[in-house]
Amino acid sequence: MDAIVLGETMMSLRSTGPWRLGGSATTSVAGAESTVAIGLVRLGHAARWVGRVGADEPGELVVRTLRAEGVDTSAVVRDPTAPTGLILFERRTPDVTRVLYHRAGSAGSRLSAADAVAGLAGGTRLLHVTGITPALGAGPLAAVRAAVDAVRAAGGLVSLDVNHRSLLWSADEASRVLRPLALRASVVIGSPDEIALVGGDDLTGEVVTKLGRDGARVRTRDGTWSAPAHRVDAVDPVGAGDAFTAGYLSGLLDRLPPAERLARGTTTAAFAVQAVGDWEGLPTQAELPLLGLPPGTTLR
C-alpha cells in the first residue's frame, strides 16, 4: 500500500432543511480518514481503509462505497453486535451547517489494536491517522498507538491530522493524548489552534497549518513555505480540510517539494467545496489543471 488510513466511517444523511420539520435527505458515507483514502486513490495512489462497521445495511453502504472508489477494504471488520455509526448534516442557514452524531456504542468505537495490526498486513509507505479516532474510546486509542508503533518500526511515514472534535472531548484531554502521538509523527496537520494543542514549536516533523481562506503553510527542517487558497464559489465547506490533507499527502507520496505539496492540497480542497458531500467533489490527477481554466470553459 502507498497509504493506510485508520478510523471510523459512518453512514451520512444530509437534509435540505431543519431535521425537526421533516423532509427529504440524501444518503452517503462520511469519515475524515476515508475521505483522505478516497482522495488519495483518485490521485493515483493505492490506499486501504482499516475500520469496523456493523453487520448491517449502513455498514454495507460504507464498504460498497469505498470499494467502488477503489479503496482497499480487505481489512474491514464487520461487527455483529454493534451498529454502524450515523452522522446527520443539517444546512441550518445558507452559510451554517450543523452536524449531529449518533456514534456512541458504534462498531467503529470498538476498533482494537489487533484490528489495526492485522490491517497493516503487507506494509505501507504511509499511515494516516486523526485525532478523532483516539477520542472514541480506549480501544480506538490503543489501535492508533499500535499502528503508529508498527509503521514507525518498519520505517514508514506517519501523518496525524489533529482534527480536534470538541463534542468528543475537551481540549485539555485531547492535548494530553495527542501530543505524544504528534511528537512521533512524520507530518502533523491542523489549524493554528490544533497545532498549538499538540505542541506547536516542540514538533520536530513537518508541521502543516491549514489557514482556511488564507491557504496553508508548512514548516520543515529546511524552511517554511506557504500557498494561497483558491477563490471559488463554495457549495459545501464540510470536508475541505480532509480534502486538503489528501492532496498534501499525495504530493508527499509523489515526492513533490513542499510548495508543490501545499499547492496540490489547496487545489483538492477547492474542488471539494464546490460539490455537496465530504468526498464527492475530490479530483483525479487528470482533473487538477481544470481549476486554472477560465470561467465558462467547455472541454470538448
What positions carry a catalytic annotation? 242
Query: Is the torsion defined by CA of 238, 106, 247, 166 positive or negative?
Result: positive
Minimal CA–CA distance to 43: which of 296, 257, 293, 279?
A: 279
| Distance of alpha carbon 280 from the chain centroid | 13
Ramachandran assignment for 277, one of left (phi > 0), alpha (psi -120 to 50 degrees), beta (any other) = left
Q: Is 155 exposed, middle or buried (0-12, 13-18, 19+ CB in 10 A)?
A: exposed
| Buried b / exposed e along 210-227 (16+ C-beta atoms within 10 A) | beeeebbbbbeeeeebeb
Q: Rounded to 5 degrees, what angle do the CA atoms 85, 89, 90 make?
A: 145
Q: Please give the full DSSP string across 227-246, using - where no structure is assigned.
A: EPPP----S--TTHHHHHHH
DSSP state of 65: H
